[in-house]
Amino acid sequence: MTETAASVYVNEFEGHLVGSVQVELTESVLANFREHLLEAVQRTRPRGIIIDVSAVPFMDVQEFTQLRRVLNMAALMGGRPILVGLQPGIVAALVEMDADVEGLETAIGVEQAVRRLRDSTPDNEQKEFAPEFDVAEEADTIAGPDDAGSPQQVDEPEGQKSV
Amino acid sequence: MAVAIMRARQQCQEAGFDVSTSCRVATAVSELARNIVKYAGQGEIILLRVSAPRGAGIEIRAQDQGPGITDIEKAMEDRYSTGRTLGLGLPGVRRLMDDFDIKTEPGAGTRVTIRKWL
Ligand SMILES: Nc1ncnc2c1ncn2[C@@H]1O[C@H](COP(=O)(O)OP(=O)(O)OP(=O)(O)O)[C@@H](O)[C@H]1O
Ligand SMILES: [Mg+2]
pLDDT in tens, B36-81: 999 999 999 999 999 999 899 999 999 999 999 999 999 999 999 9
The fold of the A3-119 domain, in CATH, is: Transcription Regulator spoIIAA (3.30.750)
Q: Is B87 in the pocket of ligand 1 (CB under 6 A)?
A: yes
pLDDT of residue A162: 43
Q: How many domains does chain B have?
A: 1
CB proximity A101 to B under 8 Å: no
Q: Among B69, B104, B110, name the best residue to mutate to test ligand 1's pocket (greatest count of ligand atoms within 8 A of Cβ).
A: B69
pLDDT of residue B84: 85
Q: What is the dihedral of CA B15, B16, B17, B23, to 10 degrees?
A: 60
- List the domain range (segments joined by +) for residue B28: 2-117
CATH code for the domain of B25: 3.30.565.10
pLDDT at A122 over 80: no
What's the Cα-to-Cα distance from A128 to each of A12, A111, A121, A124, B108, rounded to whole Å? 14, 18, 11, 8, 67
pLDDT of residue B6: 86
CA distance B111 to A74: 41
pLDDT of residue A161: 43
| Cβ neighbours of residue A108 closer than 8 Å, sequence gap 6 or more | A84, A85, A141, A142, A161
> How many A-B residue pairs are in contact by the CB < 8 A criterion?
58
Instruction: Report residue B108 CA to chain centroid gap.
Output: 18
Under DSSP, is residue B109 helix (H, G, I), strand (E, B) or coil?
Answer: strand
CA distance B5 to A145: 36
Closest chain B residue to the Cα of A93, Cα to Cα: B24
CB proximity B24 to A under 8 Å: yes
What's the Cα-to-Cα distance from B53 to each of A12, B47, B50, rounded to whole Å? 56, 20, 10
What's the Cα-to-Cα distance from A142 to each of A18, A102, A138, rounded to whole Å? 18, 18, 9
Rounded to the nearest angstrom, the minimum Cα separation between B72 and chain A is 19
Model confidence, pTM:
0.83
CA angle A113, A119, A125 (to 5 degrees): 110
Q: Is B63 in the pocket of ligand 1 (CB under 6 A)?
A: no
CA distance A115 to A134: 9
| pLDDT tens string A6-53 | 688 899 988 999 999 999 999 999 999 999 999 999 999 999 999 999
Under DSSP, is residue B73 helix (H, G, I), strand (E, B) or coil?
Answer: helix
What is the interface pTM, i.e. ipTM, of the complex? 0.91
| pLDDT tens string B15-43 | 999 999 999 999 999 999 999 999 999 99
What are the sequence ranges of the domains in chain A?
A: 3-119
pLDDT at A4 over 60: no
CA distance A109 to A161: 12
CA angle B79, A70, A37 (to 5 degrees): 170
B27 vs A87: CB contact, 8 Å cut-off? no
CA distance A36 to A1: 11
Question: For residue B59, which amino acid is it?
Answer: E
CB proximity A23 to B under 8 Å: no
